[in-house]
Structure 1
Amino acid sequence: MWLPVSLNRPLVWVALMALPACVWIPGAALRMVAASFVTLGLWDAWNQVRQQRLRLRLSQDALGLSGDAVVISDVQNRVLAVNPAFTEITGYESQEMIGRKLDTLAAQRHDKAFYENFWSTLKATGRWEGEMWNRRKHGDEYPEWLKVRAVTDKRGKITHFISWFSDISAQKARENDLRRIGYEDPLTGLPNRRRLHDLMASRLRHLRAGESLDMALIDIDGLKSVNDSLGVEQGDRLLARFAQRLTSYMAGSVVGRLGGDEFMVIRTTTFDDHDKWLGNLRDHMCRPFEINEQSLRLGLTIGSCRAPEDGQDSSVLFQRLESALYSAKRLGRNHSLRFCPALDKQDNPQLALVSDLRAALISGDQLELHYQTQHHPGSGELVGMEALLRWRHPKGGMISPGEFIPLAERHGLMAELGSWVIEKACAQQAHWQNSGMPKTTVWVNISALQLFQGDLETQLATCLERYQLEPSQLGLELTESVLLDERAGDMGPRLQVLRELGYSIAIDDFGTGYSSLGYLKRLPVDKIKLDRAFISELPNDQADAAIVTAVLAMAKGMGLEVIAEGVETQAQCQFLVEAGCTLVQGFYFAKPMPAAELEQRWAPLTQAEGAY
């Protein structure tokens, strides 16, 4: 390869001037001096060439190591050089591309206006960056993130283009998966509650004169007994078969699964035959199912309503469907009931509570966080605290989370509640960091809905940035039921990303699920919280003592911390100290308390310690 030698160096100029002097200057001594200058100039020129070769080789090595494809093309966009990553991504070898126009790889997904905008932007600003679809050698299309820079000469005329791009197929697939998971029931492939809301709203908007919507909420009676007798796997098969039959019978209508044993159908019709339609639907779906060589005849409880007679807002209609279903359940199994005003929330305490919870989320002044501190069992040292959601109802007083959390899960409010908790906990942590409180991690509980909807990472990052916190100041607690929730999919990659971002991850209620050891092997977990059920009878119950000792030994071998929940007595605390447990939480040290009460207890201690 020919490498130009810069003439912008004094020794090179001296050598060029001394070269003719070696011949024409009289006197051997002077010619020797001139020859010395020539030699020195040649040495400098050779050293320059060697340095340029080294820089070129290093540049080529760097491009070879890059995971992004790099292409150098001329002003006509003909390829002059590519790096190995280009071949790896596109399948084209370097010799196949030299002299070929780069735009011959373009996929037929962008219109003429897109490319006109691309070239006008590039020529006007000298750069372009964005997503573009290209085609590999074997014909399959893929998305890439492309950056293009124009190279100009001294007069500002474009002479070359340098392009960098990376294959973002995996990222796009992940985005599509998250979008699908957010709107699709993973077991049946049917629309989930979130998607059903959208579909109902769409059908309501597009109702024409003379059309109505028939809607039914279907609950399978006794599915738990099927799971208990045949196993969960056979129960899932039954749900999938039920979904297939319902979808086939309701072809052209909306069919979805709200979760568990609840399904929903929405029919657009011009017939005033709601009761007849419901009866035919029941008869068809109550025919026997053959599962595991057994014939199963299902009972169905159905709540129904009709739009626009029973309402024209999707949220109102959902509430009225649920009101009709709950009222039908109170009549016993295998009943159907259509909504009527007498069934509205005044006669249904559960629906009234859901409505009040929605109002509480909007106002924000009824919900509050209480904090329970976590300690070293021997010294009592404060090592962390858990944020616990509380609801102070204006009429009903303090409502137990065990009462309103299941309702929130059932009615699709967990995502909003989870967002509220994260926001409030971050704001409180930021306040504490500036008010003399101990520097500890605040742990928040994460629901399955927050995980499978796919926006948890963004929400966490936004809150941390807003309140200027580090990820290490916020811990994430997941219950075993979250990890076993079929909606959450494979949580390993999601949790690994969160952990790499700096968040600590704990498994709450450890020991109450069915696959504890299995997920501990494959999931990136930092801490397990031993459920209070194993602590309450310590140290007298030998079985619980053996379980606690075994869990502590296992966790130590796996490099996990263990925090024992529900520690209420000195005897329990002493047993845990002797067993090697280093973290505890429970009434023995502190009950859950509001933030103001916590500050009164701990801030003065911290300030007193700082005075010494």
Structure 2
Amino acid sequence: MAALLLPALLAGACALALGLALRLRALHRQRDAAAAQAAEAELRFRSIFDNAVLGMYQTTEDGHYLAANQALADLYGYPTPAALMAGLSDIAGRLYVERGRRDDFKALIRARARVVDFESEVYRRDGERIWISENAHAVHGADGRFLYYEGSVEDISERRRHRTLLEHQATHDPVTGLPNRYLLQDRLDRAMGAARRRDERLMVAFIDLDNFKFVNDSMGHAVGDRLLVEMARRLQACVRETDTLARYGGDEFVLIISSAAAQAGPVQVLERVHDAVRQPLALEGRDLSVGCSMGVAVYPRDGADLETLLRHADAAMYQAKAAGKGQFRFYEAGLNAAVQERLALESALRRTLENDSDEFQVAYQPKFDASGDVCGCEALARWHSTESGTVAPDRFIPLAEETGLIVLLTARVLHAACAEAVRWSGQGGAAPGVAVNISARHFRRDGQLAALVRAALEQSGLPPGRLQLELTESLFVGNVEETVAILGELKALGVTIAIDDFGTGYSSLAYLKRFPVDVLKIDRSFVGECDRADDARSITGAVLSLGRSLGLRVVAEGVERPAQAAYLLAHGCDELQGYLYAQPMPAAALRDFLASYRGGRRAPALAAVG
């Protein structure tokens, strides 16, 4: 029996051993395949790691590289990954520009398990600073133990520069480079916070350049921008790093004077600003002087936010302008009423002009020649507001100039004056002409002035030779070639050109012969003193002599005393205008006045001094 069992047992043992051998062989094959797959995966990972276009790395927690690819080496300026790992052995101390940035990196990973778009400024090998963005995470072993950080790096310097540029453009003025009104809010919030902590005050100064519109309108926007840049430079030189200078818009600047400066001497700061602005400035070969008017509000006395402080500083600034420009005023309670009155007047002026209301009328002041005949009339705008009553020209004309409404007002006066002049009859059949003042703003509106004048003449039927356009001397400061061209367009229509307020502007006499001008009109400030002050008499005499030498007619306005008329006539003045002879009068009254001079009757005042 035993003999029979033994072979069977041996056979089973052999079968079992064979099975085990086969299973072991299969296991070996599986292990070899797994090893091969792992090796292949390792090779693929290494290939991806080494050939990636992004910088890739593995680092220890204490800031040493375990692995780096060629892209990272190139990014940081090293020839090889090995050179990078050897040369940059202290990542925290030698890579990041901002100290503690590596600690921020590790803290974020501990809190969130990874960092995404972690932006930092870093040093390259040659010392150049660039901006990078990192995406990284922590790698742990099977037992949860930290092994290393693994991540990628991208150079975002160009993207960062573009973003910085966009941010700068959003918060800074494109002409002067100063902070704009949006950044002004942030700067003021910071300044007020510092003042509160120290229980101190600060000043907000609203600065408006005087005569800027004259330069911008007469010399062009390019020159106006150059003026703004120079004024910004001068203003910036007057303040400290702790102060803020912003361009608020147009020719307006806002200066936030820090609490320390405000405590030390606010008047000295403002005087320094004023002195810097008013220094002569050379533009387009001409020396100009542009002052400034300033209004100041004090925090916290005059307001606790930007809107209130600016409103009060603006009110004080207009008070400074009303006092004669070139000054500064501190805000006082009650100034808001004046500002509200001005805003109401501006609103009424705009509404009246845009709605073509009959509140605006044209008055006419006669001009007389040396023989006593009425030789022309000047058209003058008069405003009889239903809300404010009669508004003086010295109130609404500057406001119209400042707001640009003068363009509408000029067009309205021109059309009305041309239509009215057609109704006039003159002495012996010669009807007088009409003179209309033209604003510098209208003069520079790309050829629209000639079109406006042509339309007024055609619609009224007034002969062009009876229309005189009076242009302020400031118009002749700008581009000479452009000025000659525009005047040529007007002269081609057949109208007469006069320079108003002659002697008060900046035009060069060397250019005067180039302009197709027919009349010089002596400013009333010289006429008013020509019988009393030697300097006024000298200027008046010089203008009369200049007019004769150039073959121009000379008109004196503002004649109020017989002695003035006597001096002017004795020195060859061609036309006289002023209250001595006649005040401005409505159209109907003027027709009666002209009727009284039919038949060659002379003006009584001229008869007395002639």
TM-score band (shorter)? 0.3 to 0.5
TM-score by length of 2: 0.47
In the superposition, the TM-score normalised over structure 1's length comes to: 0.46
